[in-house]
């Protein structure tokens, strides 16, 4: 089969250079205007390769059809175009380390930054691969532009190779996945598939059908503001109360840096304001519903306890559901998972199925009635300057996408 390496490399470099960072504070859909640059490019490129029904919806998702050449279930392939807001994503300068030699990778824009196989053992297994990184000042954006490149390459190949049997395929590129708003309530009906896959995973062979369940919490602390020169027995400092909330929460357990495996956490992600009013933001994560509810209850209890120490302050805690563990639905019908497993076996790739400490658009889609496990792209160290991806891992994911389509038609 074609290697796809050159096309994937060119697509990824082109896509990653486009700023498409999402913004949780924006109410629009997509949340940032710059995401339209990627979405509009997808419309043009899908049209150029011969896809049908290419549409950008009112909520900012690009959807297209790859007509089938054989009977079978209608399958969706999805990736998201936005990049994470946690780190600088403006002015990305992707670069390709051809034929990685197994040593330390340095960064031209930050000489102190290094990527080593000692620190990241997965890199050690990629000797001879072409490694794509950023230049040191930004994230790369392989999350999830690697997924976009994989799907576009696979769909281009299908349309140019009609002898490959395939059922009808629907492609979707979503915005705002990184801020939990990638799946609009209209998407399942607009997509119109029997089941789907997101290409938004990591290590070679990864087939994910179990994710975190997730909530988002906003804690508001309103104090009493007054000139500090006349503040005795009058000032209520919201900064002090907000800090007390953070300090009262578990510090040596139940934080991301102290948990792994199937442990959940409460993660303080933002803290802004002044002595008059503070706002804290938390993400709550657990693999089980009752564990997630317990973490929300703990956060509320801490807020109530701190509020009780200062009745002149107002402290509120609002918790909003984000997504739920896709396992709750997929375990009743593993059809898409079994199809992906069979395709991996056909390609001689060892399956890697472990619960992931995160979520995808597939988590929401599965909850909304569209079974949607997540598949690997090769992306590593996402959301930071050490992000990288192997082009050859992406090529393997491209072959997996094609083989899933073939197997669906054969079935």
Q: Give dist(CA 103, CA 284) in Å, integer.
A: 38
Q: Where in the sequence of the chain do the CATH 3.40.630.10 domains occur?
A: 5-211+325-410
| CATH of the domain spanning 5-211+325-410 | 3.40.630.10
Asked whether residue 240 is marked as a ligand-binding residue, the answer is: no
**What is the per-residue pLDDT across 347-406, written as a single tens digit (0 to 9) for each?**
999 999 989 999 999 999 999 999 999 999 999 999 999 999 999 999 999 999 999 999
Exposure string for 164-176, b = 16+ CB within 10 A, e = fewer: bbbbbbbbbbbbb
| 109 assigned binding-site residue | no
**Over 70: is that where the pLDDT of 274 sits?**
yes
Strands 75-80 and 169-174: parallel
Note the pLDDT tens digit of each residue in 340-355.
999 999 999 999 998 9
Residues identified as active-site: 82, 177
Residues 6 or more apart in contact with residue 403 via CB below 8 angstroms: 343, 346, 347
Residue 302 to residue 211: CA distance in whole angstroms? 27
Nearest residue to 156 (alpha-carbon basis) of 398, 403, 407:
398
Does domain 214-322 match CATH 3.40.50.880?
A: no
Q: Where along the chain do the CATH 3.30.70.360 domains lie?
A: 214-322
pLDDT of the residue at 3: 83
Provide the mean pLDDT of the chain.
96
List pLDDT tens digits, range 33-86. Answer: 999 999 999 999 999 999 999 999 999 999 999 999 999 999 999 999 999 999
Answer whether residue 125 shows pLDDT above 70: yes
Query: Is position 178 annotated in a ligand binding site?
Result: yes
80 annotated to a ligand binding site: yes
Residue 93 phi/psi, 5-degree rounding, is -120, 90
Quick one: pLDDT band at residue 8, thresholds 50, 70, 90?
Answer: very high
């Amino acid at each position: 089969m074609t290697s796809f390496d050159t096309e994937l490399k060119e697509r990824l470099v082109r896509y990653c250079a486009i700023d498409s960072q999402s913004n949780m504070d924006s109410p629009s859909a997509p949340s940032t205007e710059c995401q339209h640059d990627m979405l509009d490019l997808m419309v043009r490129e899908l049209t150029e390769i011969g896809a049908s029904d290419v549409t950008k919806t009112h909520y900012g998702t690009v959807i297209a059809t790859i007509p089938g050449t054989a009977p079978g279930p209608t399958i969706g392939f999805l990736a998201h175009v936005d990049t994470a807001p946690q780190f600088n994503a403006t002015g990305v300068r992707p670069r390709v380390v051809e034929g990685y030699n197994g040593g330390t990778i340095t960064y031209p824009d930050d000489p102190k930054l290094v990527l080593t196989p000692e620190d990241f053992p997965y890199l050690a297994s990629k000797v001879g691969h072409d490694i794509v990184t950023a230049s040191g000042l930004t994230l790369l954006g392989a999350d999830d532009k690697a997924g976009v490149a994989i799907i576009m390459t696979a769909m281009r190949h299908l349309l140019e190779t009609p002898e490959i049997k395939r059922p009808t395929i629907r492609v979707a590129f979503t915005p705002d996945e990184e801020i939990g708003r990638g799946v609009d309530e209209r998407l399942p009906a607009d997509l119109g598939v029997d089941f789907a896959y997101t290409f938004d995973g990591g290590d070679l062979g990864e087939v994910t059908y179990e994710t975190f369940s997730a909530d988002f919490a906003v804690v508001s602390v309103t104090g009493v503001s007054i000139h500090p020169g006349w503040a005795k027995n009058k000032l209520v400092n919201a900064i002090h109360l907000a800090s007390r909330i953070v300090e009262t929460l578990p510090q040596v357990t139940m934080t991301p840096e102290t948990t792994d495996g199937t442990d959940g956490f409460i993660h303080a992600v933002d803290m802004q304001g002044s002595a008059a009013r503070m706002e804290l933001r938390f993400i709550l994560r657990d693999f089980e519903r009752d564990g997630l509810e317990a973490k929300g209850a703990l956060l509320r209890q801490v807020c109530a306890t701190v509020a009780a120490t200062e009745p002149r302050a107002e402290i509120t805690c609002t918790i909003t559901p984000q997504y739920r563990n896709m396992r709750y639905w997929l375990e009743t019908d593993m059809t898409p998972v079994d199809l992906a497993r069979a395709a991996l076996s056909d390609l001689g790739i060892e399956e890697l199925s472990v619960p992931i400490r995160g979520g995808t658009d597939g988590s929401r889609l599965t909850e909304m009635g569209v079974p949607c496990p997540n598949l690997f792209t090769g992306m590593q160290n996402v959301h930071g300057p050490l992000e990288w991806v192997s082009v050859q891992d992406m090529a393997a994911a491209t072959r997996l996408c094609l083989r899933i389509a073939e197997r669906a038609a054969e079935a």
